[in-house]
Amino acid sequence: MSDTLRIAIIGGGIGGLTLAVALGKLSQSSPNSPNVKVDLYESTPKFTTVGAGISMYTRTWRAMQLLGLDGDVAKVAVQPPDEEETEGTFYRKSDQLADGYNFYEMKMPFGAITLHRADIVSILHSNLPSICTTHFNKKLSSYSSSPKSNFTELRFTDGTTTTTDVLIGADGIHSAVRSGMFSGGEKEFAEPVWSGTIAYRYLIPAKKLEEAFPGHQGLTKQMAYLGKNKHAVCYPISQGTQANVVLFVSQPHLEGTHYEPAWVSEVEKDFVGKEFVGWEKEVQALLDCAPQRIMKWAICVVNPLPKYVEGRVGLLGDAAHAMTPHFGAGAGQAVEDAYILSRLLTHPLLSSAPSSDIHRNLEIALKIYETVRRPVAQAITKGARDAGLLYEFNLPLDVPEVGTEVQDGEDGGGMKVMLGAIAKKIYELEEWQFKGPDVDEDWVRAKRMLADHLGLDTGLGSGGEGGE
């Protein structure tokens, strides 16, 4: 390696862009950081703003603060995030013709921060540092690194090749980097699987929804409309000018199978409407206001991987842990990956350690990233799966505890008890968002491991804070 540490990022989605931004900010914040150069390879001709609403919660918000991006993000959020315990999601039973009822409100610090994905991508894009060169229309086909050479060779579909010191696959659920890492016949890790759920996504102009259903709760709150095998989510984005709608339809027995048709396609709105016949008016209004053609997404996931790192190659974001969207956490987890990884890769200890073997030190840093991030992301992936089952009345619950605060509704006592048990379980599942260890603590742990592994006495090994 020359004096410059070359980091190649494959994929310019929220994960790859956040990593590039973070590497720029952190490498320039300390004169002792390695001299970093980032190359970002994106297969499309520009950064794509495809996607609709994104929710962010406490942990992701903290990472945004630590990266100094919170000010920009707050400007495009529907409401400026507030550290006090604020409105999160309102849960409502909706799979009946009679009006449903909000049976639970999940509050947490900062509440639910709702945004348009395009706004986040554009903030990240405008924060790309000068140390980052972006290469569009560059689709990675494969890579190879040999233990003998200290670099990794990248091969692109246009026939070109290049080399890098560190390769990070932030190339989404179909990651070519993950396929390469698990090319030894481990198909269950190389290829994603279907969750059994289809999501229908679209936006409604807020004015249109207000006219069709004055006071619709999805215009001002994050709403989850629950029912058997299906549920709907609606919340405001773009500073309240649009409502983001996602309708989920599940066949739980098909979880883990391969989805053969195109993963993303368009369907007629009548087709989707048929799925929600018999649901309450508040949900019908979302379908009445839908565009004629609706985006259909097969929700696929990556099985829990046994590793995120091999040598100086790592996976980040959906490439490592594509999950169901029921926690609204996929992008947030990519941001957390980027935060921890960027701090490790820019840490002054990498170049100042007595064993000045920078290649070995980089491998140690990547392994620590995996050690810290993999259990967190995998626990959240499992929680998101359970949340999906819970929202569609398919998660086996222990004996329901009577006494949870639930409004009375037309379904009477039995339903009240069931919804009480669901409310309690929602709280348990969502606690990770605001109960530690948080992103700061994860970093302290990573930093301590780095010091321990590099054999330095910085005071970190014994639990002290010290160092960068």
Ligand X SMILES: Cc1cc2nc3c(=O)[nH]c(=O)nc-3n(C[C@H](O)[C@H](O)[C@H](O)COP(=O)(O)OP(=O)(O)OC[C@H]3O[C@@H](n4cnc5c(N)ncnc54)[C@H](O)[C@@H]3O)c2cc1C
CB of 368 to ligand X, least distance (A): 20
Residue in 19, 256, 244 with CA at minimum distance from that of residue 132: 19
Give the span between the Cα atoms of 336 and 359, in whole angstroms: 24
CA 6 from centre of chain: 26
Residue 11 touches ligand X, criterion: CB under 6 A: yes
Amino acid at 417: V
The residue among 170 and 422 lying less far from ligand X, judged by its C-beta, is 170
Of positions 28, 48, 86, 217, contacts ligand X by CB under 6 A: 48
CA 11 from centre of chain: 15
Residue 388 touches ligand X, criterion: CB under 6 A: no
Give the span between the Cα atoms of 432 and 426, in whole angstroms: 11
Give the span between the Cα atoms of 230 and 388, in whole angstroms: 9
CB of 43 to ligand X, least distance (A): 4
DSSP H or E run through 418: helix 412-430
Give the span between the Cα atoms of 427 and 89, in whole angstroms: 11
Give the span between the Cα atoms of 449 and 322, in whole angstroms: 27
Residue 334 touches ligand X, criterion: CB under 6 A: yes
Per-residue binding string, ligand X, 49-68, x by CB under 6 A, is --x--xx-------------
Residue 142 touches ligand X, criterion: CB under 6 A: no
The residue among 113 and 454 lying less far from ligand X, judged by its C-beta, is 113
Per-residue binding string, ligand X, 99-138, x by CB under 6 A, is ----------------------------------------
Residue range at the interface with ligand X (CB under 6 A); choices 13-21, 74-82, 179-187, 271-279: 13-21
Q: What is the DSSP letter of 94?
A: -
Residue 12 touches ligand X, criterion: CB under 6 A: yes
Residue 23 touches ligand X, criterion: CB under 6 A: no
The residue among 41 and 393 lying less far from ligand X, judged by its C-beta, is 41
Residue 392 touches ligand X, criterion: CB under 6 A: no
Residue 250 touches ligand X, criterion: CB under 6 A: no
Q: What is the maximum span of the chain, computed from C-alpha positions, in angstroms?
A: 72
The 10 Å Cβ neighbour count of residue 46 is 11
Residue range at the interface with ligand X (CB under 6 A); choices 9-17, 124-132, 256-264, 420-428: 9-17
CB of 31 to ligand X, least distance (A): 31
User: Which residues in 162-181 contact ligand X (CB under 6 A)?
Assistant: 170-172, 176
Q: By CB under 6 A, how many residues form the interface with ligand X?
A: 35
Q: What is the DSSP letter of 157?
A: T
Q: How many residues would you count in the chain? A: 468
Per-residue binding string, ligand X, 196-235, x by CB under 6 A, is ---x-x----------------------------------
Amino acid at 11: G
Residue range at the interface with ligand X (CB under 6 A); choices 251-259, 328-336, 380-388, 442-450: 328-336
Of positions 16, 180, 196, 409, contacts ligand X by CB under 6 A: 16
Beta strands across the sheet bearing 230-237: 101-109, 85-93, 222-227, 230-237, 242-250, 193-205, 293-301, 264-268
Give the span between the Cα atoms of 426 and 115, in whole angstroms: 23
Amino acid at 174: H
Place of tokens 């790192």: 309
Residue 42 touches ligand X, criterion: CB under 6 A: yes
The residue among 204 and 460 lying less far from ligand X, judged by its C-beta, is 204
Question: 141 — phi, psi (to 5°)?
Answer: -105, -40
Q: What is the DSSP letter of 253?
A: G
User: Which residues in 259-318 contact ligand X (CB under 6 A)?
Assistant: 297, 299, 317-318
Site for ligand X, rule CB under 6 A? 10-16, 41-44, 48, 51, 54-55, 139-140, 170-172, 176, 199, 201, 246, 297, 299, 317-318, 325, 328-332, 334
